[in-house]
């Protein structure tokens, strides 16, 4: 039997003796110390105590997780520079109040303060009580501003036990009325030792593989950085934690739905769909579409519900893919439903599906809030009996009295516009004991960074190829009356050639508060001026459903030359003869919305032109003019707007980060995704001892939602 080897001393081959090992100091984290309450109103004053409540800072642990948003310079008195703001640690040598000649102003407090490098005078304004609060000998943490004449005024202050600044930079914290960053910094310094009691959720093997510091060291580096590199290393560690927990939560949710939920196994050979694909489509499928059909066929054959996200370039043929999924259910004796967020979009989908439908009779119906009572009763009766195989609708599909005989496949379009409860209500429409397969569609291309954090619990299919024959759209940014006159001349040229045009405005009615074009006023103006003699129609969201249908039908059938509209035409409108679009006040729209609007033209064989009226120096508008690829535009949009404005559109709260910065941390996100998948593959329920603290961190971050199944 081989005797166990003794551990060696640090940086040496010399072994420890047993006595030295028994006497070695051991520090174990004590998380209970983090639960200690912060000082209250008696110590801090009522305003500061209320401010801490506002910031959500109740315990020492809350305080240490309240991370700085920036760093300022730490100085000594001798190194202060004129015109800069800096932080000092000083001792009060003398303090007194001085009257101020201006009426209504409180006395100014002047103090002589000193550190090891020298002494200086500083001024506190409108705070005469500081003479009693900070007597001679008090040590202070000051944020000061030095003017060009060398006079020093205090912008923030707090007492401290520190003798001198130990970092080249000091943290600057998110603050609130009643407590400033300097007082928060003083509180953090007071509880600095408690950082060592922070639990470490990551297994040591994972930390070593990713070359990450432990969590206490990362927190210390952010609060008390010893240089820019150390602070960034701490930030990356905490960002990795956030991203890893998000990916674990998303992947666990997907796995739990696959284990718990049952769905009809739609694995029969293609019959109706094969005939439709062979002879019924007016155009050949792109390779991307063919691959998407294979993905969907594979998912539908499983006994657990499909959860797939279908996203694609504008005009890439997502509706054909969605119809295939619905018909796969119908040809096997099940029902299919497509739910859209607006009546206009539902109506357009229904019209497109009818045009694409195979020659064989497939019963289909439209169900929206505007469906007449008699028609609604007929549709509900046929859905309940199974006589109706396919339905397209809005939220009306998930009302309590809507019952399906055998709902097998549901397609949710623009799914980010539905809430969790609405998607769950559709999920509940499945036949008894089963849930429907769900295909989520989004018209907006999503960069991979966001796809992983918003939809990381879904499988993903992407359509990038456009059908053959699509012509590229020429896009220009325009401004000024001269370019406007030329724009309308260009529109008239297209109309005389037999083409059609869109004019898009951001508002329905004119507003005193918003200086922007209104569709109704622009419609009346264009009809009587620049476009007089042409057939101009108006469409916006406030019209009655029948009026919207009539306007859209007239334009689609060629009965109108120009459609003046709001962004209600952003998705779902297909008029191949439309070859020009003018967007007013284009800077009021986001990049993805403008790309969607632009996608309403260029659908036929004609060259198309998009004119964006707005400031020529706008980064968003310049990006639209330079790029046609929606995925590249989505990446640019994310870089310009940052994750904070885009995240969370899925309405489940899993992807909101305090530390991670998207898209900058994309590589870190990819690594976190890979690590999460590997962890769950080896330990699906996170039952291994080394994952115990990871489970606690998941529960702290997301609560019950971390373990919830995916709703449709």
Mean pLDDT of 480-495: 95
Mean pLDDT of 75-80: 87
Same fold across 272-463 and 473-627? yes
Give the pLDDT score at 62. Answer: 95
Give the pLDDT score at 655. Answer: 45
Per-residue pLDDT band for 705 (boundaries 50, 70, 90) equals: low
Segment 385-407, tens digit of pLDDT: 999 999 999 999 999 999 999 99
Structure tokens at 392: 């397209």
At residue 315, φ and ψ (nearest 5 deg) are 80, 15
Segment 246-305, tens digit of pLDDT: 999 999 988 888 888 899 999 999 999 999 998 878 788 999 999 999 999 999 999 999
Mean pLDDT of 420-444: 88
**Cα–Cα distance, 274 to 271 (Å, whole number):** 5
Per-residue pLDDT band for 5 (boundaries 50, 70, 90) equals: low
Mean pLDDT of 239-247: 95
Mean pLDDT of 70-99: 86
Give the C-alpha distances (Å, rounded to integers) separating 42 from 63, 135, 159, 254, 402: 18, 19, 16, 49, 59
Segment 573-585, tens digit of pLDDT: 788 999 999 999 9
Structure tokens at 461: 């299919």
3-state secondary structure of 175: coil
Q: At residue 429, does pLDDT exceed 60?
A: yes
Question: Which of 665, 679, 515, 499 shows the shortest CA–CA distance to 587?
Answer: 515
Per-residue pLDDT band for 312 (boundaries 50, 70, 90) equals: confident
Q: At residue 708, does pLDDT exceed 60?
A: no
Stronger pLDDT, 4 or 419, i.e. the higher one? 419
Q: At residue 649, does pLDDT exceed 60?
A: no
Give the pLDDT score at 518. Answer: 86
Per-residue pLDDT band for 651 (boundaries 50, 70, 90) equals: very low
**Cα–Cα distance, 283 to 292 (Å, whole number):** 16
Give the pLDDT score at 166. Answer: 53
Per-residue pLDDT band for 644 (boundaries 50, 70, 90) equals: very low
From the CA atom positions of the chain, what is the Rg in Å?
32
3-state secondary structure of 561: coil
Contact partners, residue 290, CB within 8 Å, separation at least 6: none
Contact partners, residue 411, CB within 8 Å, separation at least 6: 322, 325, 326, 336, 337, 338, 339, 438, 439, 441
Q: Which of 434-438, 654-658, 704-708 holds the top average pLDDT?
A: 434-438
Give the pLDDT score at 445. Answer: 81
The torsion defined by the Cα of 448, 450, 451 and 457, in degrees rounded to 10, comes to: 140
Give the pLDDT score at 176. Answer: 87
At residue 618, φ and ψ (nearest 5 deg) are -70, 125
Q: At residue 418, does pLDDT exceed 60?
A: yes
Mean pLDDT of 137-151: 88
DSSP string, 249-309: HHHHHHHHHHHH-------SPPSHHHHIIIII-SSPPPHHHHHHHHHHHHHHTSSS--EEE
Stronger pLDDT, 569 or 228, i.e. the higher one? 569
Which parts of 331-472 are beta strand (E)?
335-339, 364-367, 390-393, 407-413, 437-442, 459-463
Segment 217-230, tens digit of pLDDT: 999 999 988 766 78
Give the pLDDT score at 331. Answer: 96
Give the range among 24-28, 222-226, 322-326, 371-375 with minimum mean pLDDT.
Answer: 24-28
In whole numbers, what is the pLDDT of the chain averaged over residues? 87
Mean pLDDT of 498-504: 96
Q: At residue 540, does pLDDT exceed 90?
A: no
Stronger pLDDT, 126 or 165, i.e. the higher one? 126
DSSP 234: H
Give the pLDDT score at 33. Answer: 92
What are the structural domain ranges in the chain?
1-66, 70-172, 272-463, 473-627
Q: At residue 216, does pLDDT exceed 90?
A: yes
Of all residues in the chain, what percent carry a pLDDT higher than 90?
Answer: 54
Q: Which fold has domain 473-627?
A: Rossmann fold (3.40.50)
Chosen CATH of 70-172 out of 2.40.50.140, 3.40.50.150, 3.40.1530.20, 3.40.630.40: 2.40.50.140
Of all residues in the chain, what percent carry a pLDDT higher than 70?
Answer: 92
Segment 585-600, tens digit of pLDDT: 999 998 988 998 998 9
Give the pLDDT score at 20. Answer: 74
Expressed in percent and rounded to 5, the helix, strand and coil fractions of the chain are: 40, 20, 40
Give the pLDDT score at 162. Answer: 67
For helices 591-598 and 630-641, give the axis angle rounded to 10 degrees: 160
| Architecture of the 272-463 domain | 3-Layer(aba) Sandwich (3.40)
Give the pLDDT score at 653. Answer: 38
Mean pLDDT of 480-484: 94
Give the pLDDT score at 514. Answer: 53
Q: What's the pTM value of the predicted model, to 2 decimals?
A: 0.74
Q: At residue 646, does pLDDT exceed 80?
A: no
3-state secondary structure of 350: helix
Q: At residue 6, does pLDDT exceed 50?
A: yes
Give the C-alpha distances (Å, rounded to integers) separating 398 from 368, 380, 436, 699: 11, 12, 13, 31
Per-residue pLDDT band for 147 (boundaries 50, 70, 90) equals: confident
Mean pLDDT of 56-81: 89
């Amino acid at each position: 039997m081989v005797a166990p080897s003794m551990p060696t001393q640090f940086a040496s081959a010399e072994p420890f003796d047993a006595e030295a090992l028994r006497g070695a100091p051991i520090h174990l984290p004590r998380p209970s110390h983090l639960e200690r309450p912060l000082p209250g109103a008696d110590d801090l004053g009522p305003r500061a105590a209320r401010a801490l409540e506002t910031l959500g800072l109740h315990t020492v642990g809350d305080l240490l997780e309240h991370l700085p948003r920036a760093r300022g310079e730490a100085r000594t008195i001798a190194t202060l520079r004129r015109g800069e703001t800096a932080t000092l640690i000083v001792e009060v040598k003398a303090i007194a109040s001085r009257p101020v000649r201006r009426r209504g102003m409180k006395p100014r407090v002047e103090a002589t303060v000193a550190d090891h490098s020298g002494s200086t005078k500083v001024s506190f304004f409108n705070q005469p009580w500081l003479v009693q609060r900070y007597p001679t000998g008090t040590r202070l943490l000051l944020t000061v501003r030095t003017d060009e004449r060398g006079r020093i005024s205090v912008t923030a202050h707090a007492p401290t036990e520190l003798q001198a600044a130990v970092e080249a930079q000091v943290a600057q914290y998110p603050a609130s009325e009643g407590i400033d960053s300097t007082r928060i910094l003083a509180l953090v310094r007071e509880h600095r030792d408690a950082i060592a009691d922070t639990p470490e959720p990551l297994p040591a093997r994972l930390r070593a593989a990713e070359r990450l510091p432990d969590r206490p060291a990362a927190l210390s580096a952010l609060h008390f950085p010893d240089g820019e590199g150390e602070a960034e290393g701490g930030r990356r560690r905490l960002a990795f934690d956030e991203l890893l927990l998000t990916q674990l939560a998303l992947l666990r949710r997907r796995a739990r739905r696959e284990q718990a939920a049952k769905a009809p196994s739609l694995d029969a050979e293609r019959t109706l769909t094969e005939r439709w694909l062979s002879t019924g489509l007016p155009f050949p499928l792109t390779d991307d579409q063919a691959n998407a059909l294979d993905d969907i066929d594979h998912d539908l054959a499983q006994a657990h519900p499909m959860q797939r996200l279908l996203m694609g370039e504008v005009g890439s043929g997502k509706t054909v893919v969605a119809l295939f999924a619905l018909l796969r259910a119908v040809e096997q004796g099940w029902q299919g439903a497509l739910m859209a967020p607006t009546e206009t979009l539902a109506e357009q989908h229904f019209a497109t599906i009818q045009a694409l439908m195979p020659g064989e009779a497939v019963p289909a119906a439209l169900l929206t809030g505007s469906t007449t009572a008699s028609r609604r009763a007929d549709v509900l009766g046929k859905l309940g009996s199974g006589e109706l195989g396919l339905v397209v609708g809005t939220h009306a599909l998930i009302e309590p009295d809507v019952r399906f005989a055998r709902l097998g496949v549901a397609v949710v379009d623009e799914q980010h516009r539905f809430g969790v409860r609405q998607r769950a209500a559709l999920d509940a429409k499945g036949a008894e004991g089963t849930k429907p397969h769900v295909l989520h569609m989004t018209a907006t291309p999503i960069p991979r960074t966001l796809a992983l954090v918003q939809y990381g619990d879904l499988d993903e299919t992407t359509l990038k190829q456009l059908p053959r024959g699509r012509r590229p759209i020429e896009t220009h940014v325009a401004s000024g009356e001269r370019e406007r006159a030329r724009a309308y001349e260009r529109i008239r040229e297209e109309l005389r050639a037999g083409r059609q045009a869109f004019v898009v405005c951001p508002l329905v009615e004119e507003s005193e508060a918003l200086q922007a074009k209104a569709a109704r006023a622009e419609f009346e103006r264009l009809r009587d001026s620049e476009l007089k003699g042409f057939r101009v129609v108006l469409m916006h969201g406030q019209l009655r459903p029948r009026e919207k249908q009539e306007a859209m039908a007239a334009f689609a059938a060629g009965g109108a030359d120009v459609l003046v509209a709001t962004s209600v035409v952003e998705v779902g409108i297909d008029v191949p003869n439309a070859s020009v679009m003018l967007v007013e006040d284009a800077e009021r729209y986001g990049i993805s919305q403008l790309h969607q609007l632009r996608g309403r033209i260029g659908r036929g064989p004609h060259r198309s032109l998009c004119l964006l009226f707005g400031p020529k120096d706008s980064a968003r508008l310049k990006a639209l003019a330079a790029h046609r690829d929606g995925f590249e535009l989505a990446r640019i949009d994310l870089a310009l707007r940052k994750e904070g404005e885009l995240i969370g559109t899925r309405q489940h709260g899993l992807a909101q980060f305090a530390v991670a910065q998207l898209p900058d941390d994309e590589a870190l996100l990819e690594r976190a995704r890979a690590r999460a998948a590997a962890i769950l593959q080896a330990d699906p329920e996170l039952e291994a001892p080394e994952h115990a603290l990871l489970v606690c961190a998941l529960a702290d971050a997301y609560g019950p939602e971390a373990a919830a199944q995916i709703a449709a």
